[in-house]
Chains A and B, each alone.
Chain A
């Protein structure tokens, strides 16, 4: 029951239940947690149950032949959801608490890490839409992640659409981080240019916890990343980084709320925009009056590769405390032609010179990425996304 209490505590401390939507969410959550608790009892005797619990629902009969290419890239604990259904066979590991929730999506990635848990390999959550259920226009995915005290976890979340349709992924993630826990969370939005992504992620952090959230947005007709972090304790570190390489539409809304003293946050978003990309960055930092000695940095830096690409940046600082260090800034520029000429004058082909430059530009974000294989993949991504259109 402690689990339930902690979540409820986290939630009520922040939000007021007299507001209908919060009450609704609260009730929903309580139901969810209760059911989860019963399910947990059912699998108590299972051989994995000592440290980690799981329940499985495999009802889908979708056959996918194309899948194998997706599954070889990482060395990870992998959970695969196909059309909203968790796939035991496609998933390489089963150390998850899964919970069946009817309200938003068919199944939920429910990850519960016990106190002191240290997960060596990254956990990969892969959502696949096959287009087999032609009716699923809006594809809801949901992550519910709970980190026990002092636990240490790395998570990669990505979505793939195998159909040719205009899939819409609507993803909601809630993360509760207990004291001294560590989370490395990487979100990848890289699908067809017809796919929509709506991502709402909120993270609630307790004392001395550390989170490092990387959001990569590479392809999608319209991507919205809403990320909110509430520093509900002391001496909390939050690093949120974003790298977008796009020719389409993207909105980043970030919120970091410093509630108690000695918090740190670093909010770095970089963008490389081509063609008619249209992008909004709304970054908000709130430092409430008790949050003394807060240190917050926010930065958005963008390169426009075409004359039609647009960036709208709206950084906001709301500071109610004294003795804080906060800074924010936004830069929008183009590739420096002198730099490109320098590289080319040494025999490096134009496309390679540009990709080198863009990779260098992305470094500030990539250096926060702890997954080596992913870093290489992203390097390829930079080449793939930028070069063909620039070769002219």
Chain B
């Protein structure tokens, strides 16, 4: 089993084509991510980064015209967003939506227990839940009173991003896709959040960072960097690629 598991990519995307209303947005994406790896996808605005993350998370507005997405060997395109989350996929949204009337605590409890239920576990006892919540809040430098607020409602840009990462820590996913987590965070916040993410990172999970700036990659060092341009992966490389982009922009990378 161990041997076999090593041969299976955690995430394997093959020749993925996605369109919305007949308009092609992704044109043949290939991406392989192993457990224990940190990948970064960079690319100018509008190149399809958020589209790719939403498709992995299971957003149905986008139409997958061809291609396969496998998670731990299993094809997942037909799975619902909740089933994917229950298997261990997590998306930290670029623009987390405000959900009035649903408190952070209520939401996080439902979410944690839904994942447990899918694994055949009982609800987490309230006492344990509160203890875990408190611990994670501390890691990401967050105030306790935010628990009783409505989810994302009136949160500043930075608070929204922290809230996303806090959820990641609570749900303990196998694959975390962090879509522009650094935007909206000031430099101190970025440092705290990055430290939290680094502490969370392990041999068993993988992280996909999506960004068009280099700065977050200073804190969370990627093993692989990919460049997405107009719906295509035009270049892949090591962490040095990110530095080159920081220095020279995207224009030197010619679409293949």
**A283 to chain B: closest CB distance in Å?**
23
| Given A341-B59, A342-B93, A343-B107: A349 in contact with B99 (beta carbons within 8 A) | no
Which residues of chain B are near A115, meaning CB under 8 Å?
none
Assess whether B80 is interfacial by the CB under 8 Å rule. yes
Assess whether B34 is interfacial by the CB under 8 Å rule. no
| Given A352-B114, A360-B100: A346 in contact with B85 (beta carbons within 8 A) | yes
Residue of A nearest to B112 (CB): A347
Bound Cα distance from A373 to B93, whole angstroms: 38
| Given A348-B82, A349-B82: A342 in contact with B99 (beta carbons within 8 A) | yes
| Given A342-B93, A363-B101: A356 in contact with B110 (beta carbons within 8 A) | yes
Q: Please state if A350 and B167 are interface contacts (CB–CB under 8 Å).
A: no
Assess whether A376 is interfacial by the CB under 8 Å rule. no
Assess whether A45 is interfacial by the CB under 8 Å rule. no
Assess whether A38 is interfacial by the CB under 8 Å rule. no
Residues of chain A from 88 to 116 with CB closer than 8 A to chain B in the complex: none
- Interface flags for B49-89 (1: CB within 8 Å of A; 0: not) read 00000000111010000000000000000001110111000
Q: Which residue in B80, B97, B101, B107 is a CB contact (below 8 Å) of A346?
A: B107
Assess whether A226 is interfacial by the CB under 8 Å rule. no
Assess whether A322 is interfacial by the CB under 8 Å rule. no
Chain A interface main SS type: helix
Residues of chain B from 166 to 195 with CB closer than 8 A to chain A in the complex: 167, 171
- Interface flags for A275-290 (1: CB within 8 Å of B; 0: not) read 0000000000000000
Q: Please state if A347 and B102 are interface contacts (CB–CB under 8 Å).
A: no
Q: Please state if A350 and B99 are interface contacts (CB–CB under 8 Å).
A: no
Assess whether B18 is interfacial by the CB under 8 Å rule. no
**B28 to chain A: closest CB distance in Å?**
25
Bound Cα distance from A353 to B91, whole angstroms: 17
Q: Which residue in B59, B102, B115 is a CB contact (below 8 Å) of A357?
A: B102
Q: Please state if B81 and A361 are interface contacts (CB–CB under 8 Å).
A: no
Assess whether A59 is interfacial by the CB under 8 Å rule. no
Q: Please state if B81 and A345 are interface contacts (CB–CB under 8 Å).
A: yes
Assess whether A336 is interfacial by the CB under 8 Å rule. yes
**B150 to chain A: closest CB distance in Å?**
8
Residue of B nearest to A336 (CB): B97
**B162 to chain A: closest CB distance in Å?**
16
Assess whether B111 is interfacial by the CB under 8 Å rule. yes
Bound Cα distance from A341 to B58, whole angstroms: 9
Q: Which 3 A-B pairs have the closest CB atoms?
A: A360-B101, A347-B85, A344-B81
User: Would you give 13 A-B contacts (Cβ < 8 Å), ordered by A?
Assistant: A338-B97, A343-B102, A344-B80, A344-B85, A345-B85, A346-B167, A346-B171, A347-B118, A348-B111, A349-B82, A356-B102, A357-B101, A360-B100
Chain B residues engaging chain A, CB cutoff 8 angstroms: 57-59, 61, 80-82, 84-86, 90-91, 93, 96-97, 99-102, 106-107, 110-111, 114-115, 118, 150, 167, 171
